[in-house]
Every structure is written in structure tokens, then in C-alpha cells.
Amino acid sequence: MVNLNLPSFDYKIKHTRGKVWIFDGIRKKYVVLTPEEWVRQHVIEYLVNHLMYPKSLIRVEYSLVYNTLSKRSDVVVFNRSGNPWMVVECKAPEVKLNDQTARQISVYNQTLNASYLVVTNGLVMYCFNAQQPGLPVCEMPQYPGE
């Protein structure tokens, strides 16, 4: 897999049924290791072990409905009141981040109404404050205190 601009970590890999699988500590199961999953697992590791986001308040492939269409966001971080606080959209490293990527996460946020939106391909990361659209935040926000 490609080296990313996110901290490396000790991941668990297994080979089964002709595929490579990586352990997802949030979902507590092995999932097929795709380039997008590689990015998602690095992002989760970064949130939990470097920025100290509570693991119990992170959901992966979170289901939502937008205009009667079923959608799934890659990562949703909830605040301590149980409301979506951050939505993260992960793309494979070879995917360029563009307006279409931003629109995708904006559509998810029409339903979720999170404070922060993040798009990353593991090489580039943009974080936006949804209450102040337009300008990216320079770095990932600290998780809100009690």
C-alpha cells in the first residue's frame, strides 16, 4: 500500500479467500483492504491515537438518508450529546480531491448537520468548519471537551 501523509501504525492484516483484509478497531472486524480502506484506517488511527478523539463516539460507514436515497459516510464523529460533530470522507490516494468530493460530503451534511467536514485521500486533507463555509481550517480541530 501507498505511504500516506498520516502517521503510520501497527495494523493487523490477514490473507483469506484470495484477498487481503485489515482489522477495523471501530467495527471490530476484518474488512477487505482497498486503497480507500487504507486511508480510512489511517484517519481513524490518527483521530483516536494522536488527537485523542473518543473511539466510542466514532462510527464507520454510517448510514443516512438524503432525499429518500440511502447513503453511507465513511466516518462520523459524534459529540458527547450524541449529535454528529464531524464527517470525514476518505478517497483512495490516487483520487484527486475536487469540487465533486466537496459536494459529496456537503450532501451528507445536509442530513447530519455536523460542525466539521473533512475530505482526504491520505496525501492531502482539507478540513472545513461547516458554520463558516469557504475557507479550510488549517488543521484538524481538537475534540470538544465536556
What string of DSSP letters covers 35-66?
HHHHHHHHHHHHHHHTS---GGGEEEEEEEEE
Q: What's residue 69's pLDDT?
A: 74
Residues of the chain with pLDDT under 70: 133-136, 138, 145-146
Q: Is 39 exposed, middle or buried (0-12, 13-18, 19+ CB in 10 A)?
A: buried
Q: Is 68 exposed, middle or buried (0-12, 13-18, 19+ CB in 10 A)?
A: exposed
Alpha-carbon distance values, 7 to 39, 42, 47, 51, 52 (Å): 11, 7, 10, 11, 14
What's residue 7's pLDDT? 94
Name the pTM for this structure: 0.91
pLDDT in tens, 107-137: 889 899 999 999 999 999 999 888 876 666 7
Judge whether 57 and 42 are in contact, CB under 8 Å.
no
Burial class (CB in 10 A: 0-12, 13-18, 19+), 97: middle
For the chain, list the domains and their CATH numbers. Answer: 13-133 (3.40.1350)
